[in-house]
Amino acid sequence: MASTDLIAQEVSRHDDSRRFVNDFSLQVATVNGSGSQSANTILLRSIFQMGIPVSGKNLFPSNIAGLPTWYTIRANKHGYIGRKKEIDFLIAMNQETAREDVLSLSPGGAVLYDEPMNLASLRPDLTFYPVPFDKIVATVCPEAKLRKLVKNMIYVGVMAHLLGLDMVQLEKALRKQFARKQKAADLNWGAAKAGFDYAASTLTKKDPCRVERMDKTAGKIIVDGNTAAALGCMFAGVTVVTWYPITPSSSLVETLIDYMKRYRIRPDGKATFAIVQAEDELAAIGMVFGAGWAGARSMTATAGPGISLMAEFAGLGYYAEIPAVIWNIQRVGPSTGMPTRTAQGDVLFTAFLSHGDTQHIMLFPASVEECFTMAQDAFNLAEWFQTPVFVMSDLDLGMNNWMSDPFLYPTQPIERGKVLSKEDLDRLGGFARYKDVDGDGIGYRTLPGTEHPAAAYFVRGSGHNEKAQYTERPDDYENNMLRLAHKFDTARTRVPKSVETGSGHERVGIIAYGTSHWAIIESRDQLRDEHGLETDYLRIRAYPFPREVQDFIENHERVYVVEQNRDGQLFDLLRLDLPVEQVAKLRSIAHCNGLPLDARSVTDELMNLEGN
């Protein structure tokens, strides 16, 4: 479209007036430690309660106080809840980043800012709303030391007016946030109202971002992935949790502790669980394997550096065949990397974690709902296959707020796998721990404490034969390793299946996993609407790859593998797994800047690779 075409511009301007209704991204720029989290959650919930699909992403520093933090709220009438690349509305509360934040706004956007910052002259194409925060807060908050916190609620009130938020919903969200603190609730409600009144009497609405009531969130919940995972583990019947704090996984265990104390302590005060904060990740994973060996459903949660430390034990778990569940809430590496930014950067490392020929089952949750269900899958798979199972979440999923349908009560039973009891041993007379009796590569195990003279076996990381005896015999070693490979192959049929969407007859396929999913569903619509390119989409949910992955690639001319790391790690894993003629069909789209993947980046890159 030529930019000199006046009629076209008119039409587009007309469209614009509705384009940002229930479809915009707003960003709150503040400093961490200023207490803006409550304000942002209330803003998010108010929009949600008006029936509008919404998502919240916290972009925060690895720091406790004083460094820049951005919180992004995306409202989208179509239900897209991935990150949007463009920011339409900025709430500028941080002098340090204000200039750069304003310069990066999309054309025609708006800025609400603390008046003394004097931002209005920075760009002529934006709408600026100055607000004298200090003056307003002084009138509603007599206690000077609380003003820094209460100040945030003023922008919530101002935004309520500018966006057209329902104040009834806002008050409801606010009172939920401060449920156990009546005084704080009243104080903050006063501030929100003062912000609203100021905006109503002083500001003239000029930007197009608005909300209108919809009905797309009825019955839904808002929750972060770590909370969902914690709930999943509790309902999966976890009994032993050993961990070492590390961002972004700590909140998974901390939330789990809260829930377990509330719902897993018997009336006599006895706990049906043990949670231990270990001295480091080496000990955390050692305890997990000790507990798994002795028969508990045991788990830990960690992130990249912890995974590195767990490498040696992971090999023991694989080789000695001990159930364990390890949550890896991935963050940006290498090394310490960016601890508070998101990535899918541990996929390749985790797949083969440890020395020698080692392979691990991995699950890739894409949603909070899958954090809940895959917790149950993970424990069942770990006990069924007697091996560590890694659940590969990430910071975006784990720590951000996601809208979801409520979780369903588990229907799958708690499967403890092939464990022989005293009675079984009475009948059998004995057993060989690592013998493939059933042809699936999985042996039978006994638990320590089993009251039978033939129950004991010696578990070791050194070479062993079918009877778990030490061996250096070439045939014993090789047979055992081949059985382990066979067992891993069996897992292909038991891990969560991939999810295919699309007609199934398109030439172009897309493969993605985990949180990349949210960008893909939006990008596929962009590809269709903007470029006329229809695509099929396969979302992989587990490694080893189930058979349908090959079928999908077989049925497409080109398959784009989209992920959030530099080197295309799942792309590489696929290349190792696929027949050579299929490998030639794969193309990698890898995204690595620490921000959650957005649809626009995928669409642009894919069209670029398509030669457009």
Partner 1 sequence: MATTPTAEPKTNRIGLTVIDYKGGKTTLCAGCGHNAISERIIDAMYEMGVKPEHVAKFSGIGCSSKSPAYFMSRSHSFNAVHGRMPSVATGALLANHNLIALGVSGDGDTASIGIGQFIHLMRRNLPLIYIIEDNGVYGLTKGQFSATADLGSKLKTGVINDLPPIDTCALAIQLGASFVGRSFSGDKRQLLAMLKAAIAHRGTVMLDVISPCVTFNDHEGSTKSYKYMKDHDEPLQEISFIPSFEDIDVDYDAGTTVDLTMHDGSHLRLRKLDANYDPTDKLLAIKTLSTAHHEGETLTGVFYIDPNKPTFMDLLHVTDEPLATLPAEATRPPKAVLDEVMESLR
Binding positions for partner 1, 305-364, rule CB under 8 A? 312-313, 316
The piece of 140-148, 153-161, 456-464, 498-506 that touches partner 1 (CB under 8 A) is 456-464
Taking a C-beta distance cutoff of 8 angstroms, is the pair 105, 90 a contact? Answer: yes
**Would you count residue 295 as binding partner 1 (CB under 8 A)?**
yes
Contacts 24+ apart (CB under 8 A), 570-575: 570/344, 570/347, 570/511, 570/513, 570/540, 572/348, 573/347, 573/348, 573/351, 573/543, 573/545, 574/511, 574/545, 574/549
C-alpha closest to that of 321 among 474, 483, 430, 490: 483
Place of tokens 């942002």: 40
Structural tokens at position 608: 């670029």
29-43: buried (b, 16+ CB within 10 Å) or exposed (e) per residue?
Answer: bbbbebebbbbbbbb
- CA 412/CA 429 separation, integer angstroms: 32
Per CB under 8 A, the list member of 73, 93, 229, 240 interacting with partner 1 is 240
The piece of 63-71, 166-174, 230-238, 572-580 that touches partner 1 (CB under 8 A) is 230-238
Amino acid at 439: G
- CA 161/CA 163 separation, integer angstroms: 6
Taking a C-beta distance cutoff of 8 angstroms, is the pair 269, 295 a contact? Answer: no
Per CB under 8 A, the list member of 242, 249, 358, 359 interacting with partner 1 is 242
Cα–Cα distances in Å, from 93 out to 30, 64, 70, 131?
A: 5, 18, 10, 10
Asked whether the bond before 323 is cis by omega within 30 degrees of 0, the reply is no
> Among residue numbers 397 through 416, which ones bind partner 1 (CB under 8 A)?
406-407, 409-410, 413-414
**Would you count residue 192 as binding partner 1 (CB under 8 A)?**
no
**Would you count residue 263 as binding partner 1 (CB under 8 A)?**
yes
Per CB under 8 A, the list member of 68, 225, 237, 339 interacting with partner 1 is 237
Per CB under 8 A, the list member of 41, 249, 373, 450 interacting with partner 1 is 450
> Among residue numbers 528 through 587, which ones bind partner 1 (CB under 8 A)?
none
**Would you count residue 428 as binding partner 1 (CB under 8 A)?**
no
- CA 95/CA 101 separation, integer angstroms: 10
Considering beta carbons, is residue 99 or 263 the nearer one to partner 1? 263
Per CB under 8 A, the list member of 178, 259, 349, 477 interacting with partner 1 is 259
335: left (phi over 0), alpha (psi -120 to 50) or beta: left
The piece of 24-32, 90-98, 205-213, 446-454 that touches partner 1 (CB under 8 A) is 446-454
> Among residue numbers 200 through 229, which ones bind partner 1 (CB under 8 A)?
219-223, 227
> Among residue numbers 38 through 77, which ones bind partner 1 (CB under 8 A)?
none
Considering beta carbons, is residue 108 or 290 the nearer one to partner 1? 290
The piece of 72-80, 117-125, 293-301, 536-544 that touches partner 1 (CB under 8 A) is 293-301
Q: How far is the CB of 273 from partner 1 (least distance, A)?
A: 7
CB atoms within 10 A of CB 271: 12
Per CB under 8 A, the list member of 328, 446, 569, 582 interacting with partner 1 is 446
Ranges of beta strands (E only) in 168-306 are: 221-224, 240-243, 274-277, 298-302
Per CB under 8 A, the list member of 24, 155, 243, 289 interacting with partner 1 is 289
Q: How far is the CB of 339 from partner 1 (least distance, A)?
A: 23
> Among residue numbers 268 through 287, which ones bind partner 1 (CB under 8 A)?
269-274, 276, 278-280, 282-287
Q: How far is the CB of 605 from partner 1 (least distance, A)?
A: 35
- CA 225/CA 403 separation, integer angstroms: 10
**Would you count residue 429 as binding partner 1 (CB under 8 A)?**
no
Per CB under 8 A, the list member of 12, 118, 139, 462 interacting with partner 1 is 462
Considering beta carbons, is residue 163 or 231 the nearer one to partner 1? 231
Give the number of residues in contact with partner 1, rule: CB under 8 A. 72
**Would you count residue 391 as binding partner 1 (CB under 8 A)?**
no
Considering beta carbons, is residue 312 or 572 the nearer one to partner 1? 312
Taking a C-beta distance cutoff of 8 angstroms, is the pair 224, 184 a contact? Answer: no
Q: How far is the CB of 43 from partner 1 (least distance, A)?
A: 17
Per CB under 8 A, the list member of 89, 129, 155, 293 interacting with partner 1 is 293
Residue 25: helix, strand or coil by DSSP?
strand
Taking a C-beta distance cutoff of 8 angstroms, is the pair 160, 32 a contact? Answer: no
